Amino acid sequence: MEEKKLLDKKTLTKSYNNWMKYNLVAMSFEFLEALGFALSMEPVADKLYKDEPEKKKEMMQRHTVFYNTEPQAGALVTGIAVGLEEQKALGNTGVTGDLINGLKIGLMGPIAGIGDSMIPGMLIPILLSIGMGLSSNGSPLGVLFYVITYNLIMYFGTRFLFFKGYELGAESIDIFTGEKAQQITRAITVLGMTVIGGVAASYVNVDLKAKVALRGAEIDIQSILDGIFPKLLPLAIIFGSWYLMSKKKVSPVKLILIYFIVAFVGVGIGYLFL
């Protein structure tokens, strides 16, 4: 027997679009992404409780509590919540408002971990490294590649996650919070760090042009460093950046400003080549 549905494709698409366009709207420390989540639930509430304003109000209030996750991967949670709200409206006694909120809160952490590892930790560095390679000769192809590829992956990927979450409903709990999901998260994190290391080794370039005169001969400091450890200076800068940001809490903007000043002065006086 085919499972009864109250939501049509148009309503689901509108809910998905609202989440992807407005997930970070009206953020505050009290709500973070809650209001964006509630906005994504609005077309669903309109469809499920068209003639029951009190139930619609109850549903919307349920989705204005604190919520925060990685927005793109979080499309999965939005889809799950939509599916559960439909089951609740159909009279499924096992699906309550507390269950829906509890599932949202329980999933937002693991999904954020997976999303942060996969997107800024792996996908973006890979696409940027390819784009930088394509634009190394000044071609705009790298920029076009990054913008088009990233947006295509995000659109089709998040749309798939939303509708898959809608189909799964409560079944998603075991899939995305179990031991297998944690193993995937750890593997993706390692892969992301490997990619970042490869990008750093390929594109961070610092050479010392200073030479030391000793008994009538010039000693090339950079040649000595390369003989000991090739790319030692870029490695030192990467670890130095990590130390300043993670241990000394120096903001990335301040760090960029410091490096800009050092590079400007160093190149200007002929001691550095970048």
H-helix or E-strand containing 211? Answer: strand 211-214
DSSP state of 4: P
Residue 151 has pLDDT above 80, yes or no: yes
Residue 5 has pLDDT above 80, yes or no: no
Mean confidence (pLDDT) of the chain: 80
DSSP state of 218: E
Which tokens hold the place of 118? 């996969």
Q: Which pLDDT band, with edges at 50, 70 and 90, does 189 fall under?
A: low
Q: Express each pLDDT in 235-254 by its tens digit.
A: 888 888 888 888 888 887 88
Encoded amino acid at 246, one letter? S
What share of the chain has pLDDT > 70, as a percent?
81
Query: What pLDDT sits at residue 148?
Result: 93
Encoded amino acid at 188, one letter? I
**In terms of pLDDT, which residue wins out, 215 or 117?**
117
Least confident range from 69-73, 100-104, 194-198, 206-210: namely 194-198
Mean pLDDT score, 192-221: 69
Q: Does the predicted TM-score (pTM) go above 0.75? A: no
Query: What pLDDT sits at residue 185?
Result: 59
Residue 202 has pLDDT above 80, yes or no: no
CA of residue 207 relative to chain centroid, distance: 33
CA separation for the pair 66, 82 (Å, rounded)? 17
Residue 259 has pLDDT above 80, yes or no: yes
